[in-house]
Homo-oligomer: A and B are copies of this chain.
């Protein structure tokens, strides 16, 4: 890709640090729309509380949890926990099933697997 057949006669000491803006092909970013869609998912997990919520639900023996299971261990109020859960549902990382008075939250089956891997075995 760089320095193929067309080699200058002058032996350059450094391989590729002449110019930058004059690179043969200008870099083009991916469509803004696509970048925003990806960023939206990352933004949902870019909060320590929501990462804790996801981990709690996934480690739950029944595979799901309701709001009242989360408030006390997290030390947050019920509206705050509901707010975080809504964000996670909106981006498709959790599902909500209302049975009776309680709302049960569970990991969405089609959530990105790589995201889960990053969450469970961080780095």
A77 located at the interface, meaning its Cβ lies under 8 Å from any Cβ of chain B in the complex: no
Contact, CB under 8 Å: A70 / B27:
yes
B residues less than 8 Å from A7 (CB atoms): 58, 107, 116, 120
B residues less than 8 Å from A83 (CB atoms): none
Closest Cβ neighbor of A25 among chain B residues: B61
B residues less than 8 Å from A26 (CB atoms): 69, 72-73
Contact, CB under 8 Å: B21 / A69:
yes
Contact, CB under 8 Å: B3 / A120:
yes
Query: Which chain A residues numbered 52 to 111 have a C-beta less than 8 Å away from chain B?
Result: 52-53, 55-66, 68-70, 72-74, 99-100, 102, 104, 106-107, 109
For the complex, give the distance between the alpha carbons of A64 and B115 in Å: 26
Contact, CB under 8 Å: A69 / B20:
yes
Contact, CB under 8 Å: A68 / B30:
no
Cβ of A94 to closest chain B Cβ, rounded Å = 12
Cβ of A16 to closest chain B Cβ, rounded Å = 6
Cβ of A21 to closest chain B Cβ, rounded Å = 5
